[in-house]
Amino acid sequence: MSFVGGCYCGAVRYAAEGAPVLKAQCHCRACQHITGGAPNYFMLMPGQGFSWTKGEPKSFTRPDKENAVTRYFCPTCGTHMTTQRPGLDAVILKIGTLDDPSQFGSPMIAIFTEEEQAFHITPQGMPKFDKLPPSR
């Protein structure tokens, strides 16, 4: 599968090739800051299939946390596009930045629901995890 997308102002663009490893919605408090309050809808894409094709994102990593994730956003319009987690090869792609978000389909699971807000909705039947799903 082939995905293209970018930020709102068009200054930063990316391409992602491969099959999504995971499609999910995250309810954690940190994600809520970035999304404006709603759950964060994301797709894990294989790292080797991902590349920036235009412009350069700015990155932010919390200096006060061990193994902090790094978040990439457009310095001009502030749109967050991806996150990278140390030790994880995959790129965590925000599906609102896809040229065609319908390629996302639907999330498979909801994670960090112990931090959810009253206005968050998880579809009936979707597996929910207080934190992360147990490792296999």
Nearer to another protein, 119 or 135 (CB): 119
Alpha carbon distance 42, 25 (integer Å): 6
Q: Pick one of 56, 117, 130, 131: the residue that binds another protein (CB under 8 A).
A: 117
Distances (CA, A) of 136 to 19, 80, 116: 20, 30, 25
Q: Pick one of 53, 70, 88, 101: the residue that binds another protein (CB under 8 A).
A: 101
Interface with another protein (CB under 8 A), residue total 45
DSSP 39: P
Q: Pick one of 86, 123, 127, 133: the residue that binds another protein (CB under 8 A).
A: 123
Nearer to another protein, 11 or 21 (CB): 11
Q: Interface with another protein by CB under 8 A: which residues?
A: 7-9, 25, 30-42, 58, 60, 62, 71, 73-80, 94-98, 101-102, 104-107, 117-119, 121, 123
